[in-house]
Amino acid sequence: MKKSQIFIGILVLVLMIIFGVYQYSKSSNLALFLITGLALGYIFTRSRYGFAGGVKKLYLTGDGSLTKALLLMFALSMIATAGIHFGAAQDGAVPAFKAAEGDVVIPGTGFVRVASLSTIIGGILFGIGMIFGGGCASGTLTDSGEGEGRGWIVLLFFCIGGIFGTAMDSWWKESLFSKVGVRIYLPDVFGYVGTVVVSLLLLLIIYIITNKYEDKRKKEGTQIKEVYENWQKPLPQPEEYKFFSKETYHKLFVERWSFYTGAVLTALIFVFIINTTGTSWGVSGPYTLWGVWLFHKIGIDFGSISGFKGIVDTVNNGLLNHPVTIRNIGMIFGSAIALLLAGNFKFNFKMKLKDVAFYALGGLLMGYGAKVAGGCNAGALYSGLSNFSLSGWFFLVAMTIGGIIGSKIFKKVFMKLEKEIEA
């Protein structure tokens, strides 16, 4: 542990508090988004939690612990969200896509989207991209905050992919891929209790499949269980316990949390977001804004390009006035604070050319796929499932298929390249 990093971590935290106060002076909403972003970033880094690993770890190592934690998170979020939706509906609120002017909207139902071929195609592209990039939309933010050069490369090309996706957005919307689809809010079909029961049964089926796959890998002797790094493990307990001690500090700020701790805490933040903002959690939307802002700085104007007017207006209004941008920034700094307080922050820019190529391609595929599908692992998947949109299940299946395809390609190409290098 580098003790000097602890003081840097405290300094960064203080600066975030000052920034939060400044944002609060403009809008309490902006401060709220910053707080939830900081919390998510801290949770994801402290528990090494993320969506991409739910597919990648299971396929490559046969260890389904992260996959099961994600299923727990979905289940907890669905149960809580059902209560929020039901309560709002009892008071006369309606799903966002049915709302007329003046209607009260059920919180989170803005993420009830059309389930179509575009959802499937975009989900598959996103799934392949998250394997190549080594993380999903939210994981890219935490990787960046943890000092991983990979994260910054993926982030840049995610923004570029989002720009390409926006440029082709009208084509996709007018195509058969999007027109052949249906928007279904599951409580309209099964009722709220029925929707929770059906959703939990589907999660149970995935849990059983995960268990069977783990058993298969165990029997084959190919399962590789998750191993914590030494600095993340618990310290031996002294004979005489003292609260103000290195053991206490290690327990509170260094020792790694389990995937299940990450799952429960993420679900709590997710429900908090819906309750306090009336909307749900999304991540990928700001990436296109960031890309447009960046290219504008080097002289490329998107103002005259069809489909970019609203984006350019948002950028011109100031990215620091955009709530989801603020939450994403919070995630980056929340991750950095987690490692700094643990005394284990380090920059890692050691990459081979093939790594850079894979990360760049991964970012492009995720950025473009998220635009085609109408969201990423947070918006299309997590918020889709938890707000009872059929599209969330479409995206889950498509992203998993893409993740498996990406893992197969990744494994095959890297093994081949490594053998060529050795030769």
So what's the pLDDT on residue 16? 98
The alpha carbon of 28 is separated from its chain's Cα centroid by a whole number of angstroms, namely 24
At residue 239 the predicted structure's pLDDT band, cuts being 50, 70 and 90, is confident
Out of 32-41, 70-79, 245-254, pick the least confident: 245-254
At residue 420 the predicted structure's pLDDT band, cuts being 50, 70 and 90, is very low
Location of structure tokens 């980056």: 332
pLDDT digits 0-9 by tens, 257-274: 999 999 999 999 999 999
Determine the Cα angle at 203 with ends 81 and 206, to 5°: 155
Of 328, 346, 326, the residue nearest 336 (C-alpha): 346
At residue 63 the predicted structure's pLDDT band, cuts being 50, 70 and 90, is very high
Residue 239, classed as helix, strand or coil, is: coil
So what's the pLDDT on residue 244? 84
At residue 414 the predicted structure's pLDDT band, cuts being 50, 70 and 90, is low
pLDDT digits 0-9 by tens, 343-388: 999 999 999 998 999 999 999 999 999 999 999 999 999 999 999 9
pLDDT digits 0-9 by tens, 101-126: 999 999 999 999 999 999 999 999 99
| Whether the predicted pLDDT of 418 surpasses 80 | no
144, amino acid identity: S
Q: At what angle do helices 28-46 and 259-277 cross, to 10 degrees?
A: 170
Average pLDDT for 25-39: 97
**pTM as predicted:** 0.95
Q: In the chain, what are the domain boundaries?
A: 3-226+237-422
Compute the distance between CA of residue 352 and CA of residue 230 in angstroms, rounded to an integer: 26
